[in-house]
Every structure is written in C-alpha cells, then in structure tokens.
Chains A and B, each alone.
Chain A
Amino acid sequence: MRALVKDAIAIFSPQGFLDGNSANAYLTIDDIEATSLLKVDMVLVSLKKVIFFNRNGLDIFIKMFKKIRAKNHATVGFCDYDSKKFEAIMKFYKDEVNFSLFKSHEIASLFTSSFKNKSKTVLLFSEDKSQRAAMAIELHDNGHNPIMTQSQEEFWEKSANAVAYDFVISDTYLGQMGQKIATRVTGNAIIYSLSSYLDAEIGDTFNIVYHNNSLNVGFRLFIFDAYKVISMNVHALNFFSKLSSAAAEYNATICFAGLSFEKIPSSFKETMEDSGIMFFSQMDNILHDKELMADLGGSSSVVMKNKRNLKKLTVTELPRFIDATVLTIEMMTNSKAVKEAVQINEISIADKTDKIASSIGFYGEMDGMIILIFPKEIAKKSCELLIGEETDDIELILDSLSELVNIIGGKVKSLLLDQGISVNITLPRTYSDINDLLDMTFGRKGAQVDLAFDNDKFLFFLTR
C-alpha cells in the first residue's frame, strides 16, 4: 500500500480489520522504503475506515514510523479516529506513546507546514497540561491562533459555540514532533520558522526541495522568522549564504526577521549581508509595508530577470506533454480534445474573463513549466471526478485543479521516463486571476497549443 500525499502529509488508509497479519500485508519493504524517501512533514495512518484494530496491528505501523523518523525526521502517527479508538490506543501504549495522534487529518495539517496554511483560530483541550502547552506552541509557531481551555467543562462550554473557531481540537496527542523547519505562506512570501541553535543539521531539517519548488513556481520572497534563534555556527552561516546566492539566480530575496546578534559574531552578519540576505528587527516591518513587500518581490510573482528559451529537447518532447495533458483531461471529462492552433511566442490569451490557470514545473534531465489555462466550466468539469459533484466553490475548484495538474505532471514524468528522460515535478500552483499568471510569464517565450474540448477553448503553454 502506498501513502497518499497532500499538503506535505503522507496518509495510509487501510480499510476493515487491522491485526498483526493484515498490517504486515499493507506494508511491503518497498512501501516503507518509498515512504521514508518522501519529502513530507508527516506520515500518518488514517483509522477512519478501520473497524477493528489490535496492538499487533498498530505495532507494524509503529515499526515503520521508527524507520521513517530515523531517516527523515517527519512527524509520525495515527489520525481520523473517534474517542473510543483514541482511548484504546492510549490504553495499548500507556506511557510509551512516542508517536502522535490527531483526531482528524485536517487537525494534523494545522501542525505542519501546509502550503496553503492560513491563520486559523483553534480551540484546544487536553487533560495533560504539558500536551496543552505543546500544542499551543506548535500551533502558534505555524501561524495559528490557539485558544487553550484549562478544564473539560470550559472546553465543553466554549466548543458549544463551534462557529467561533475554525478548528476544535480534543483527543489529540503530540508525540515526538517532526524536526522539519515549519513553513507557511503569506501572500506571495514564504516564511520559515527557525529556533534554538543553528548548526550543520539545518541541511537536514530545511526542506530544500520545497524551497526550490517554491522558486520554480514563482515565489520570490523568503523570510526566516528567527526570533527564537539563540546562535548559529559557521556551518549554518555557510548554508544561508549558499541559499541566498542560489536564490539570487531567480531574483529572489531572503530576509531574516528578529535575529539577535548578541551571541552571534558580527562578522557573520556582514558575510550574510554580502551574500544578499537582508535583516529586519520585526516581521511586521516587512509584512505590513506594502511598498517594501513589492520591492522585495512578495506582493506578486515577479518576472524572472534571466528569461530562458525552450531547449531543443523540450520542444522535441512537446507532443508528449500535450499527449499527457489531453489524455488526462479527456479521462477526467469523458470528452474529446481537438487541437486548433500551435505557435511559439509569449503566451497570448484572447479573452481573460472566466478563466483560471494552473502551472507545474519539472526539472532534472530537462526543465520547464507547463501552464494550463481553463475556462471555469472546463475546470469545473475536469474536477468533478475528483470532487464528486458539481460545485461553484472557487477554492474547491482551484484545490482540485492542483490535483488534476499533479496527475498531468505525473503522466508527463512517466511518458518522459519511457523515453529515458528522468524528471521530477514541482508542487502545482493555481491562479484565480489570469493577470497574476501573465505577470509571472511576462517575457517568457514558449509553445502555446490551443485546444478545444467539446467546443470549450483550453490553452496549453510550455515554457522555461
């Protein structure tokens, strides 16, 4: 069984009965290996569809958790259970609960660096005082607004007014949390939270793939929230200097907010400034200054200075990209595509009304970016299979569009692999406003293919 990965969380979803025999069958050596290689913040096992489990069944997954933690420091545990199941697990493991328990995977996502995390108001309760505090700190670090209740009665009283909170947390337990650097997105800026002493380990705990993907999909401002940093050594200094130099290639900016130099040599600051890193005493000095945000590249996607043209290999493989896109959308809409025009130029969108877009980058033996521009109606139709019903909820459509583009990216990857070309794909990005997309692609030439699905126009653009 393979885990489904969404928003930096990998979830296994067994169904039915989970005992020592069956749990072993869910996880082959390959599955465990593949899971430990995932670049995720959490690996969870959902108990939503499990009607029976015993300790032997859970133990098999806990063994996997240990291997994963040893390899990539991710948070591990179980999710999607009711109070009865929570009590059973706590009873099975008593004082040796060294994994986490999240009542739902939505609650788990609050404790991770979700790409789409926004500030949420969270009511929480745990009978264990230290758990309450740990949860509140983690939530706060991830940019949420936790409200702790001190007693079961207070929790019941407050949770009765459920509309006042985005999330209500109970029956949740934080085991060893991941040591990954927390990440959150504010507008077009990405904020990483650092703490304590920074040394060579930062190379393991910083998700460089996520960072590179963010650069590839157009993010240009990266802020390190460094209020809790006590000190750093030369290895961390080198890490940040290299990160900044690499970001400069994309015309991106790296800032530090709240870093105290009391216990850090002043020469470190000079070295970091030389490599282009900027320092601010307060996070709000950056986030609340719209002009500064625009200058730094955090108000919208900024045009790349180094405009790159399509390479011969990319153009040669273009039919495979179109093939993957067309086949996927045909599968999702059960309709047939007709190619209407092909041109190589900057992207040209005749009518921008009622259109939404999505992009996904690929890198490896060839690199580039696929951009798809959908009339809302095709996007809705394409996403119906994933959503399960018709919807006008734009957030839901954009979310499903990301999944759709992920499928297309996966298909491209496998079609190229058939040709002996190995690529990786980035996180998808969606655009509810076509102008944002045009800002990002300004000056970039690429191959544009106009397609029609049952007379609805659809645009495919491949660029670098």
Chain B
Amino acid sequence: MIYLYFILLELKCIKLNLKADIKVITKNTIDGYIDKIPPSPKALKATLMFLDSGNLAKAAQIAQTDLALSGYLRGIVNNPLYGFKNEVKEIAQIFGILGLSGSQQAVYNYMMSLLSPSKWHLFKLNKSTFKTLQDNLSVKWKLILNHLEIDAKDITSAITLLPSSIIVAEALFCEHIEDVKLLKSVKALDYNTILKRLCNFDLFDICEAVANKWDMPSEISQIIQAASGVKPSADVKINLLGKWMHLLLFYELSQPLFIEAGLNDFIDFQIEYVGDIYEDFSTVMAIS
C-alpha cells in the first residue's frame, strides 16, 4: 500500500519541482525594480529646474499645468499645520508661502508620493498616513535645520528621500510577507539587514538609485546614506545631518500611528550613532 503513496509522492514531487521557481530577492530583482521607476514627469522637471534657479514665479506657472501636483501643493498649505483661515488656491501664492527651500521640498515630496503603492501590504499604511509621515518629517526637519542654522534648499529637500526607503521595502518584500514573518520570528532582523545579506545591496542604496534616476542633487543621497545609521559619512557635516535624520526617523517611527503600521523595526535603530546629539534633539523636539 505504501508504494502507491510513494508513486503519488513522486508525481507530486515532480509537480513541486516545476513550481519551485520561487522569487527570491536578488540583485536582478532590485535592478528590475529600479528600471521600472518612471522618469520624473516633464512638468516636474521643469518646475524643479526653475526652483533651482530661484525663479519661483516661473516654477509656479509650470506647476500649475500639472493638476495632480497643484492639488498636492494646495493640500499641503491648507493643512491645519499652516493655520490659514481662508483656502489658498494659487500656486504662485503657495510657493510664496513655502519659500524656495519649502517649495522644492514639497515638489520632491510629491515625486515620492508618485512612487508609493496604491495599496500597501507589508506595512499598514495608506495614501493619507504616508503623507502624514512625509509632512511630519518635513516639518520637524525644518526645526532641526533652524537649530543647526542651516539654510540650504538641497539639505531641506534631503528629508523627502527618506520615506522612499519604506516604499522600497514594501515593493521588495510584499510578495514575501510570510517568509519574512517566519524569519523575523526566529531572529530580530530588520528589512535593511535582510536585503543587505541577501544581495549585498541595501534599501538606502536603492534610495540613492532612485535619487540618481530623478536627478536629485548628490548631497541628498549622501545624507540619506548616512541616515541609514550603518554607513557614517567621512564628511563631518553630512555625517551630522545623517545622525539628526536617523534620530528624527525613529522619533517619528515611535509615534503610535507608525508603530501600528509595523514601521518601528523596519530598519535597525543605531542608538550609539546618535548618542552625542540626543540631548540637543530632545531640546529641539521639546521632549521631557
């Protein structure tokens, strides 16, 4: 009798081998992902170009032609955070309110939102909560830069690239949720470490590739790499900004909304890396 099952088993095993072509995450998967990222739309490119040259009026004129971007910008300025009584509709007015750095930051935030999935599977996020994360990071990054007395639009915009690490983790791991759950049930591994160990390429390398594809200034990529907490920069200023950004990220990821979204342990918090700026950080964020 057992041999009948043995034959059955053989047949099933053959079937198994045919379907065993599972998708593991390899360097090719990552290359494929980066290839699929669309180039930034023409209107966005032009808006950023005019912002870069300091021409707010021309930038607003171009931004106005992109309805989705205009809607996004109106959403930012009419957020209760800004406290305007009347709705601000004109893009020129919005850019005027945000200033050069703030406008560039807002446009980059919009670009990142284009990259985010319509439905999240790995993390319990949606369009609105992801935007909340972007807004919170941007507002608090501004506070930090004020404290550090830094007024440079590329550095202001650097924070916009940080959430792309979450988008990339979602894109690469959403098809492996069960495998990752099992892996995480026996070892406290974060997504960045898993990816690095699988393909020697981490989430922040992919963020850099995204930044390059979208012609973002190289300073932004450098700050983001340092903000991973595992790749300190040799450049003192970049490294300092990386520390502040790493700590800011975990300050945000310790908020109930993002803990519930499963983001608290998406990368490894490098507590030693930020040890020397913690006191200043707690002053800036009024933590008591």
Q: Are B13 and A17 in contact (CB under 8 A)?
A: no
**B278 and A51 contact, CB distance less than 8 A:** yes
Assess whether B250 is in contact with A447, with CB atoms less than 8 Å apart: no
Decide: A315 near B194, CB < 8 A? Known: A15-B253, A17-B251, A326-B20: no
Kindly provide the distance from the CB of A411 to the nearest chain B CB, expressed in whole angstroms.
Answer: 6
The 5 closest A-B pairs by CB, nearest first: A16-B254, A25-B256, A16-B250, A17-B254, A319-B12
Given contact pairs A16-B254, A319-B12, a sample of 19 additional A-B residue pairs in the complex whose CB atoms are under 8 Å apart: A4-B184, A6-B186, A14-B254, A15-B254, A16-B264, A22-B256, A51-B278, A52-B282, A318-B9, A318-B13, A319-B16, A322-B13, A323-B16, A328-B182, A339-B16, A342-B10, A385-B198, A388-B193, A410-B186
The contact string, 1 if C-beta is below 8 Å from chain B, for chain A 186-230, is 000000000000000000000000000000000000000000000
Distance in angstroms between the alpha carbons of A169 and B186 in the assembled complex: 26
Q: Which residue of A lies closest to B186 (CB)?
A: A403
Q: How far is the CA of A13 from the CA of B184 in the complex (A)?
A: 12
Indicate if B234 sits at the interface (CB-CB under 8 A). Answer: no
Give the interface segment out of A86-94, A175-183, A275-283, A329-337.
A329-337
Cβ contact within 8 Å between B274 and A15: no
Contacting pair B259 A1 (CB below 8 A) = yes
Report the bound CA distance from A6 to B255 in whole Å.
Answer: 28
- Interface residue tally for chain A (C-beta within 8 Å): 55
Distance in angstroms between the alpha carbons of A406 and B184 in the assembled complex: 11
For residue A338, CB closer than 8 A to chain B, the reply is yes
Residues from chain B with a CB closer than 8 A to the CB of A232 are none
State the Cβ distance, B40 to closest chain A Cβ, in Å: 32
CB contacts (< 8 Å) of A330 on chain B: these are: 20, 22, 24
Could you tell me the distance between the alpha carbons of A449 and B17 in the complex, rounded to whole angstroms?
13
Of all chain A residues, the one with the shortest Cβ separation from B264 is: A15
Q: Is B148 an interface residue (CB 8 A)?
A: no
Which of chain B's residues has its CB closest to A54's CB? Answer: B288
A38 to chain B, nearest CB (A): 12
Asked if B185 is at the interface of the complex by the 8 Å CB criterion, the answer is yes
The answer to whether A269 has its CB under 8 Å from any CB of chain B is no
- Taking the closest CB of chain A, its distance from the CB of B64, in whole angstroms, is 40
A314-325 Cβ-contact flags toward B at 8 Å (1 or 0): 011011001100
Chain B at the A interface: SS class: helix
A25 surroundings in chain B (CB, below 8 A):
255-257, 259-260
Is B5 an interface residue, CB under 8 A from the partner? yes
When distances are taken between beta carbons in the complex, the residues of chain B under 8 Å from A14 are 254, 264
Identify the B interface with A (CB < 8 A): 1-3, 5-6, 8-10, 12-13, 15-17, 20-22, 24-26, 176, 178-179, 182-189, 193-194, 197-199, 247, 250-251, 253-257, 259-260, 264-265, 268-269, 271, 274, 278, 282, 287
One digit per residue, 1 when the CB lies within 8 angstroms of any chain B CB and 0 when it does not, for chain A 236-259 equals: 000000000000000000000000
Question: Quick check: A49 and B269 within 8 Å, CB to CB?
Answer: yes
| B287 near A17: Cβ-Cβ < 8 Å | yes
Of B6, B17, B22, the contact of A331 (CB 8 Å cutoff): B22
CB within 8 A of A385: which of B6, B197, B269?
A: B197
Q: Is A26 an interface residue (CB 8 A)?
A: yes
Q: In the complex, which residues of chain B have a beta carbon less than 8 angstroms from the beta carbon of A406? A: 185-186
B186, B250, B259: the one within 8 Å of A51 (CB):
B250
Does A386 touch B at the CB level, under 8 Å?
yes
- B5 to chain A minimum Cβ distance, whole angstroms, is 4
| A residues less than 8 Å from B3 (CB atoms) | 344
User: CB distance A337 to B20 under 8 Å?
Assistant: yes
Known A-B contacts A15-B264, A315-B5; the reply to A49 vs B254 at CB < 8 A is no
